[in-house]
Chain A
Amino acid sequence: MSVLELIIALPLLAALAVWLGAPARAASLGATFINLALVLYMAVQYWGKTGLAFTYSRPILENPSLSFAVGADGISIILALLTALVMLAAIWQIEDRPPIFYVSSLLIGGGAMGAFLTTDVFFIYAFHELALIPTFLMIALHGRAEPAQRKAVAWKATIYLGAGSLVLLAGLVWLVLEFSGGSKLTFDLEALRSQARLTPLPDAKQAQIFFVLLLGFGSLVSLFPFHSWAAPAYATAPTPVAMLHSGVLKKFGLYGLIRIALPLLPHGAHVEWVQNALLVMLLGNILVMGLVTIHASRLDDTLANSSVMHMGYIFLGIAAGTDIALKGAVILMFAHGISIALLFGLCGRMRNQLGTLEYNKLGGLANHAPSFTVLFAFGAFASIGLPGLTNFAGEVMIFLGNFTEFKAGVLTNLQWTVILALWGVVMSAVYMLRAYRSIFHGTPATGLFMIDPAFSQRLPFILLAATLLVTGCCPWLLLNLMKSAL
């Protein structure tokens, strides 16, 4: 038995217990606290090490070879840390809601943990699917819109993500068939990786498979132009679900590209037509969605669209494929997860207390809710990429990672893309600062009044903001977990 199995099982068991009548809040918070402690213990144990650790494998089928195999390396641990933190904050901030809120948060969190910490392609896929189901159900049942509208939003997300998952499944099956060797089908990622090292595929074929995987994983991460489900889904989803899906679960697609696609198909992303397609799509994320975000007139729209937009930078890191850019991408995944969860959490509180999120109806909240304002500022500035907060570290590494080979006067397509993508940073600043100004500064709107939540209610958000500050000032805390090249 590995500690990882405990980390995966705990939230799922807690969800079952709550559904069958255990005290919802106590059980969920207890389980997530223990989970965070276990993940931290795991990170400390892994500190400075390289390679796959905490491995444990329970064979399930011999041929095709399938086993419940767990194992973690630096990326898995960073994402598990993200999951544990966001799950704790998301559950902590729930107030006066039926048990299904706790159950679904635990299921999404547990599913994400499972996806990040197993090393068998079958289970990586399976856990992600498990986490998607409660997401859909919660949007359809408890979304913040009229029943007909929230059902429509939920179905749209279901169709996009369902189709994306099927494309992904096709790509994974293709990988398994190609890399299993003649005698046995295997789903074990390590076995597939060693086979890929021994007998790499020709570049043209790598490109084809990579492209299928890119479409599959990409739809799950709202890669342009398969992104249109995301913004309405996040704007409609109940707060904990929005926090967990945009913060944690969406990172699954990126994780899959880094953990599965890149190592098995090392040249896939660099074949010209794939790379160009990826660059066009990610520029769509950054520039098109940046403009769309600037146009938003409500805070939830801004956050939802910005979350789609920021995925572009992480794709940029993946497209570059250099060690520093990939590590930057992982750090940005962590940073974006924490900051967007913080912002969605605060946004949910505002909606509950004020009943509206329209910029032109809000104003001057800072007067009576100073702590709340500071917390929001942490999220907003992190999102813009202010130095000292984690997002900055990630973005800088991604940008620099594209310039490791630089010839003066001759810019590659990647480098041109970086130069265009930098304008996205400006757009982030425009919409985030505008949101901040029109909500918290200016003359207080009449009839809208909000005071700081009690300290205990601020704690989950303080936790997230502190994480941003600590890992932002000391990004080596995260980098030390990724000593080996990715």
Chain B
Amino acid sequence: MSVFTIEAGLALLGLALLLLEAFKPDISRRTLGLTAIAGTSLALVLFIFAPHDTASLPGFIQPWHQLDSLAIFYKGFALVITILVLWLTLECAPYLTRFTVDGKLAEMFSLPLIVCAGMMWMASARDLVTVFVSLELVTVSFYVLVAFARKSAFSLEAGVKYLILGALSTGVLVYGIAWIYGATGTMSFDGIAKALANPATSKTTALFGAAVLLCGLGFKVAAAPFHMWVPDVYQGAPTPVTAFLSVGSKAAGFVVLTRALDAFLVEGSIIGSEIQALLLVTGSLTVLLGSLPAMFQTSVKRLLAYSSISHAGYLLLALACRESARFDLSSGGVVALYLATYLPMTVLGFLGLGLMRANGLGEDIKDFTGLAKRNPLLALLMTLSFASLAGLPLTAGFLGKLFVFLGLADHGYWGALSCAIIAAAAGFYYYFKTILAMYTTEGTDVPALTFSVPAKAVAGALALAILILGVYPKPLQSVLTSDRPAVVAK
């Protein structure tokens, strides 16, 4: 079975669940949720055993889709995060339903499947039209998901903000695509790379198009100065959706960025140095504008939103560091590795938040007070998640940062490196402020906090993933380098 069939099947399953819920209103949310999870898990299993090369795709789709190591990685990534988000939705259902109109969650189980199919398609896109269509499939579904808790004013506000800014950025993106098409006469990444390497191509037109396109994508991945929507939207959206936005949507944005930049920064590109400078400046700004305001947040969910911005900054900086003979990983590979480490730690953090909400607690730092006493296991897991987000050595988070820092140092981008280090230092402050609160005991005569066995199992698995990726990333690296020719030493 080809990978494309699996993706199409996933989207169809999403549609089927949507219809099922509409025509059989008495179906329980548990059945719906478990069906969605089972379907996605089946898709993951099938995906693992499906042939992993472009030739295995149906012929009609081959001009637009490819299956390289990056695509394989991001497809697996999309499936894993979707399963986790579906499960998290089920776990948080009791309190989420309080904010929905009819006390139901139907679309919360069907839309993520469609998002997942969109992300998987995006991962293999080899031209801008495919990128655009799949990106919209993802974004439009997210408009619904963000505003899903309609009885909550925050969720509505988040939905409206996300809709307006998302639509605007889509417009900007299309505008950029049009300019690029005008400059290069093609939509495919290979064609664009070829045209940009040709000195006869109009530099101004191409540069303008590329810059506008990057602005549009900058909105999607929350790069400064297009990051303003993130804190409000992340805070207002239901927690599972926030996790999905923070991990899935970001990964989707970055796979497109990786593909686009591979074309823009091709060897001998006429706009290479300008785009590179743009990336360094944007990346440095993003890490700082994410990390520094995060120091002053009192809501952990908002803090995670700012931290998500700063992580996007590190990823942009990773993209700015092109090929190095001293690295096996390409810049796209570093980004993928970073995102792989980012997934477990972020989902674990949001899982903890969701579990606390389910126990009737808020999302402020002060709600974390005494967590170690109320539930030592949850406190331990959250500590691990935050320590990893901060980049503590031996956790997954350190590894991603290390690669980014090494890349910057290797290329001699000292200014960007200083910004990254300042942001990392600020990160240590705000994550450890939260950790400290968990272990503070003064004046906490609070009831114990419980959570279900599956929740423990999932959280434990995520924690294990953080530790294993932190000390043994080799398998991941080999997936990402499987189809790269060996780099020749200088």
Contact = CB atoms under 8 A, between A and B. Distances in A.
A129 interface: yes
B16 interface: no
Contacts of B365: none
B326 A185 contact: yes
Interface in B450-490: 471-474, 477, 487, 489-490
A20 B409 CA distance: 41
Contacts of B440: 141
Interface of A: 19-21, 59-64, 68, 100, 122, 125-127, 129-130, 133, 136-137, 140-141, 147, 151, 158, 162-163, 166, 169-170, 173-174, 176-177, 180, 182-185
B38 interface: no
Nearest to B410: A177
A183 B489 contact: yes
Q: Considering the complex of A and B, which 4 residue pairs feature the smallest CB-CB distances, nearest first?
A: A126-B393, A183-B489, A63-B328, A129-B393
A173 B409 contact: yes
A127 B398 CA distance: 12
Contacts of B406: 64, 173, 176, 185
Nearest to A99: B376
A60 B436 contact: no
User: Would you call the interface of chain A mostly helix, strand, loop, or mixed?
Assistant: helix
Contacts of A158: 428, 432
Given A60-B474, A137-B436, A140-B436, A19 B441 contact: no
B380 interface: yes
Given A63-B327, A127-B394, 9 more contacts: A61-B474, A64-B326, A130-B394, A141-B439, A147-B442, A163-B425, A176-B406, A182-B490, A183-B325
Nearest to B387: A133
Interface string B299-338: 0000000000000000000000000011110000000000
7 contacts: A64-B326, A126-B394, A129-B392, A133-B392, A137-B436, A140-B436, A183-B490
Contacts of A62: 328, 474, 477
Interface in B375-394: 376-377, 380, 387, 392-394
A59 B475 CA distance: 11
B439 A100 contact: yes
Contacts of A170: 421
Nearest to A58: B472
A59 B328 contact: no
Contacts of B487: 63
B326 A183 contact: yes
Contact of A182 (B325, B424, B472, B477): B325
A168 B406 CA distance: 14
A175 B398 CA distance: 19
A162 B376 contact: no
B435 interface: yes
A61 B477 CA distance: 8
Contacts of A182: 325-326, 489-490
Contacts of A20: 376-377, 380
Interface residues of B, number: 37
B405 interface: yes
Contacts of B392: 129-130, 133
Contact of A68 (B327, B471, B477): B471
Nearest to B408: A173
Contacts of B421: 166, 170
Contacts of A176: 406
B455 to A, nearest CB: 16
Contact of A19 (B376, B409, B424, B474): B376
Contacts of A122: 393, 402
Given A133-B387, A137-B439, A162 B428 contact: yes
Contacts of B490: 182-183
A140 B376 CA distance: 18
Contacts of A130: 392-394
Most chain A Cβ neighbours within 10 Å, of B377, B436, B442:
B436
A19 B379 CA distance: 10
A299 to B, nearest CB: 27
Interface in B385-441: 387, 392-394, 398, 402, 405-406, 409-410, 421, 424-425, 428, 432, 435-436, 439-441
A100 B380 CA distance: 12
Contacts of B432: 133, 136, 158
B489 A166 contact: no
Nearest to A155: B429
Contacts of B410: 177, 185
Most chain B Cβ neighbours within 10 Å, of A64, A162, A169:
A64
A141 B425 contact: no
B480 to A, nearest CB: 11
A220 to B, nearest CB: 14
Contacts of B376: 19-21
Interface in B347-392: 372, 376-377, 380, 387, 392
Nearest to A186: B326
B377 A60 contact: no
Nearest to B380: A19
Nearest to A183: B489
Contacts of B327: 63-64, 185
B409 A177 contact: yes
Contacts of B398: 126
A122 B406 CA distance: 12
Nearest to A158: B432
A22 to B, nearest CB: 12
A59 B477 CA distance: 12
Contact of B326 (A63, A140, A141): A63
Contacts of A100: 372, 439
B472 A60 contact: yes
A384 B39 CA distance: 73
Given A182-B325, A183-B489, A59 B474 contact: yes
Contacts of A183: 325-326, 489-490
Nearest to A128: B393
B425 A162 contact: yes
Contacts of A68: 471
Nearest to B398: A126
Nearest to B441: A141
B393 A180 contact: no
A184 to B, nearest CB: 6
Contacts of A140: 436
